Structure 1
Amino acid sequence: MPLNLLIVDDHLIIRRGLARILQEDPRVGLVREAADAPAALRALRQEPFDAMVLDVALGERDGLDVLKTVRADHPALGVVMLSVYPESQFAVRALRAGAHAYLNKGCDPDELLAALVNAAAGRMYVTPTVAELLAHTVRQDSTRPPHELLSNREFQVLQLLAAGKSVSAIGEQLALSVNTISTYRARIFEKLGVRTLVELVDYARAHHLGAR
């Protein structure tokens, strides 16, 4: 039976391009598009999908945060995370959050289709690059860098702080109170072992934790 797919990306040209590529394959049936998290979650409630392509950087709401909601509400749905960011930055975090695959937007269309077919069947699709990262993570699990111990929301706040955003601006972007963001900020400082914002920015740069 052809796969019903949902493409979630905040850039129209990306969504349309992916839709056209996917619809050329006989294994693909229905392809729907969503530009943001509310539209994606609404689409998932309205129609049955076998798998979805989910961008990591999804406008105001973090793609990994959306993945958490999707996993809770649609546990059987296949999810392929697609991003311009390198595998070293988000792949392991995405797989831990419940994605079946993590691909760079520069990947071959055949690889994306293979990942979606596997995800729809409930199987993982791991590229050689991601496999190496996973192996490294297993070997180094006892000495993981501090930022890998952050929750997805803490990691998101870390990146926004490192990008120079104020606590109030972050709260507005994430639709959270200033007190909540301040609490996240304090937890981040404690977990990373930094005392000032300058030290946090230096840490983020040293570990290539660019803002999404």
Structure 2
Amino acid sequence: MINLLVVDNHPIVRKGIELLFVTSPHIQVVGGVGNGEAIFEFLKENRVDIILCEIDLPKLNGLTALRRLKKDFPEVKTIIFSAQPEGIYAINAIKAGADGYLSKTAGIITLKEAILRVHEGGTYLSNDMEEQMKKGRRVGRSGSYYRKLSTREIEVLKLISSGRKNKEIAAELNINEKTVSTYKARLMKKLQVDNIVDLISRAKLLEL
């Protein structure tokens, strides 16, 4: 039996996935939490094989949580299950330590397939994403911009666009405020903007 932890800030999503697998002979939802920090508290007390995790989470975002998971709980596998654009976030999620990336538009059969593949030691990406990787390019018009950014830069950009202040970003990523300012300067240069307002606007535009 595969023990699955669902991490999503929407209770209806957590409950829906729990009900989805209630009669499954292979997959059992052992819990659900609504923020990134709660993942680690849960793992201290419970055995989990796979985490199904959203990127947009309170307290600790999904990409940052991935880094900690690979350090503190390397035996636990993680599938990012998100509404965020696959063409922008999938590769960076894999780089950060994810074992798979699945869009929330995927069907039930695809979700089960992803969980089983990752449990068997494989990596799950959609057929379209795998094809794009083979061709060496990203999906979507915004890919040319995001291709310039490192995984850490995308983490910082995500937090900036969600309204976090430098001090909050520094605390969440475990870096100092000066480093956050450096990342902001790099992001503005790479995304060709001159101020923080335009940077946030560009970040939101790229996610459309």
Same fold per TM (> 0.5)?
yes
1:141-156 alignment runs, 5 A limit? 145=144, 147-156=146-155
2:69 maps to 70
1:181 maps to 180
Aligned length: 201
1:174, distance to aligned residue in structure 2 (A): 5.8
Q: Is the 8 A contact 1:76 1:122 kept in 2?
A: no
2:37 maps to 38
Query: Is 1:105 the counterpart of 2:101 in the alignment?
Result: no
Higher mean C-alpha deviation, range 48-57 or range 91-100? 91-100
Equivalent position SS for 2:165 = helix
Measure, in 1, the Cα distance between the counterparts of 2:47 and 2:171: 29
1:124 maps to 123
Deviations 1:156-182 (A, max 9, x none): 333454x494xx735336636643421
Residue segments in structure 2 that go unaligned for 5+ positions in a row = none
- Judging changes above 3 Å, is the alpha-carbon distance between structure 1 residues 182 and 25 closer, same or farther for their aligned structure 2 residues? same
Deviations 1:36-56 (A, max 9, x none): 112111111222211110111
Provide the aligned C-alpha RMSD in A: 2.8
2:167 maps to 171
- Judging changes above 3 Å, is the alpha-carbon distance between structure 1 residues 9 and 199 closer, same or farther for their aligned structure 2 residues? closer
- Judging changes above 3 Å, is the alpha-carbon distance between structure 1 residues 6 and 193 closer, same or farther for their aligned structure 2 residues? closer
Deviations 1:121-143 (A, max 9, x none): 2211232122123223369xxxx
TM-score norm. by structure 1 comes to: 0.80
1:81 maps to 80
Measure, in 2, the Cα distance between the counterparts of 1:15 and 1:108: 16
Q: Is the 8 A contact 2:84 2:207 kept in 1?
A: no
- Judging changes above 3 Å, is the alpha-carbon distance between structure 1 residues 149 and 37 closer, same or farther for their aligned structure 2 residues? same
What residue identity is the alignment partner of 2:152?
A: R
Structure 1 ranges of 4+ moved more than 6 A: none
What residue identity is the alignment partner of 2:45?
A: Q
2:49 maps to 50
2:157 maps to 158
1:196 maps to 194
Q: Report percent identity of matched pairs.
A: 28
What residue identity is the alignment partner of 2:156?
A: V
1:194, distance to aligned residue in structure 2 (A): 3.3
Q: Is the 8 A contact 1:81 1:94 kept in 2?
A: yes
